[in-house]
Structure 1
Amino acid sequence: MSMEPAPRATRRGGGTPGVGPITRHRILEVALEMIDRDGVESLSMRRLGKALDRDPMTLYRHAPNKAALLDGVAEKVLDQLEIDAGGQFEVDGSDWVAQLRSVARGFRRLALDHPNVVPLLVTRPLSTPLGLRPLGTLRPLEAVLSLLTRAGFTDTEALHVYRALFGFLNGHILNELQELVERPEETDDLLRLGLHRLPIGDFPLLRGLAPVLAAYDGEAELERGLDILFAGLTATLTDPDGAAA
């Protein structure tokens, strides 16, 4: 009687576990999926290896540690941010404003698509000196500087504009993603937001703004903030004739 060899175990969806090439792109893709689903804290080399049907030790060839893996995820997300740094713009025109407005909207979309990645984009870079950050996280900075210097701003002015824009954007994103509602079943705005807990005598203005706070619209707030920011930048960085100050 002939003995048939035992079939090899297969993973869900077919195929043999651990067989076939594993690439950095695929590793980061799955890592991003895990973070999107369960948060940054859920990611580990062991869990990632299991998701990829690989021995976790094989992943270290592509990412030496979890920190490098998180940096790679941040680079992967930021790589989706479109910035037209090669165009020709005028300081006294609206082209550079329109381009930066598009960048701001794109950054917000990425944040809303990947809210669990926002700490990697906004707060994590602050713990690392600029020159030691992953190159992919610096490319938006270089692209915006290129866009603005092509528009006629000096290098220093371009840096000021970048800092003002992304300082506002980072604050806006963190504010938009935070939980504002304490009791969503309540119809009274003061109760929904928990503002009834504040002493009336100490916070009369804040309590009075309950309807406005409850009607928060992230998209509208972004546009309103950009209007104020660009109006101020235009007035500060250009003279009445439209030439760079």
Structure 2
Amino acid sequence: MAATEDTTDVDAALVRGRPLPSKSRPLDHELIVATAIAFIDEHGLPGLTMRRLGAMLDVEAMALYRYVSGKEELLDAVVERLVAGMQVDDEVPEAPSDGWQDFLQRLAHGVRRVALRHPKAFPLVASRPTEAPWLRPPLRSLDWVEAFLSGLTDEGFTDEAAVAGYRAFTSFLLGHLLLEVSTHGADVGPLDVLEDDADGSMSLAAFPTVRRLRPGLSEDHAAAEFEEALEELLGRLTLIRSEHVEA
């Protein structure tokens, strides 16, 4: 007989080491979202269904609908949890304390840590609808947009420069991090275009230069490239700030 909310196999749960519902931790919205993220981390986003999530929690899928209306609401909740993860990161300040450059550097690295912690779930941050069309991932929550814009204006940015900074900062983060998580197995659609065989030569016979330079192309310099691109971005924002200094 299928397991139900009242017939959870506690021994099996302990063996698997999963945070399944119990008398001390009953099924709730927070547990469902956390387990969905764990499922995506392990199996990838395409495999997530309400039935499989229920099986992971040792409950019938129907039991989940008491807490989430369906998969779409669940995915939105996953995104909210990922974005909120920066709020519990001690390295990410809520406002500038050592200058706006330090603030943006710490914020950028906080977003990157979220992406690296949950690479297979991170593309949802880019693909799920935002609260308003003018909100841009990955800084897509009103809390973080408010912190970003007020942080820059408090540091001498005009309104126009702060908006330009938000656009440039989010474009940099999203482009870089989607590319990076794709190397960690994330399903990012069009980026996954070339499947290799065992010796890495598949589809490269007609591209001798690519084949010759492939070892260099395959090297992982993500951290250094992130730092270099972030420094270049901060330089651009310095120019934007100076061009919009109020008289």
User: What is the CA distance between 1:86 and its match in structure 2?
Assistant: 3.4
Name the CA shift for 1:169/1:181 in 2 (closer, same or farther; >3 Å).
farther
Structure 2 distance, partners of 1:150, 1:221, is 29
Runs (4+) of structure 1 exceeding 6 A deviation are: 206-209
Q: Which moved more, 1:208-217 or 1:61-70?
A: 208-217
Which one of 78, 82, 86 corresponds to residue 77 of structure 1? 82
Task: State TM-score, norm by structure 1.
Answer: 0.73
CA deviations 1:179-218 (Å, max 9, x no partner) are 58946756xxxx69x76633x7xxx7x7886565333400
Report % sequence identity.
Answer: 35
Write the mapping of 1:20-169 to structure 2, written as runs, cut at 5 A.
20=23, 21-81=26-86, 82=89, 83-88=92-97, 95-125=99-129, 129-130=133-134, 137-169=141-173
Q: Which runs of 5+ in 2 are unaligned?
A: 1-5, 14-19, 184-193
Structure 2 distance, partners of 1:41, 1:171, is 21
Task: State TM-score, norm by structure 2.
Answer: 0.72
Q: Counterpart in 1 of 2:206?
A: 197
Which one of 13, 18, 33 corresponds to residue 11 of structure 2? 13
Structure 2 distance, partners of 1:54, 1:86, is 42
Secondary structure of 2:152's match? Answer: helix
Structure 2 distance, partners of 1:74, 1:232, is 29
Question: Is the 1:97–1:230 contact (alpha carbons within 8 Å) kept by the matching residues of 2?
Answer: yes
Name the CA shift for 1:12/1:244 in 2 (closer, same or farther; >3 Å).
farther
Name the CA shift for 1:109/1:66 in 2 (closer, same or farther; >3 Å).
same
Q: Which has the larger radius of gyration?
A: 1
Q: How many residues align?
A: 218
Question: Is the 2:161–2:240 contact (alpha carbons within 8 Å) kept by the matching residues of 1?
Answer: no
Structure 1 distance, partners of 2:227, 2:44, is 29
Q: Which runs of 5+ in 1 are unaligned?
A: 1-7, 90-94
Name the CA shift for 1:243/1:75 in 2 (closer, same or farther; >3 Å).
same
Structure 2 distance, partners of 1:161, 1:40, is 31
Paired letter, 1:11: D
Structure 2 distance, partners of 1:38, 1:9, is 25
Question: Is the 2:96–2:103 contact (alpha carbons within 8 Å) kept by the matching residues of 1?
Answer: no
Alignment root-mean-square deviation, CA: 3.5
CA deviations 1:147-171 (Å, max 9, x no partner) are 2122122333222111111101111
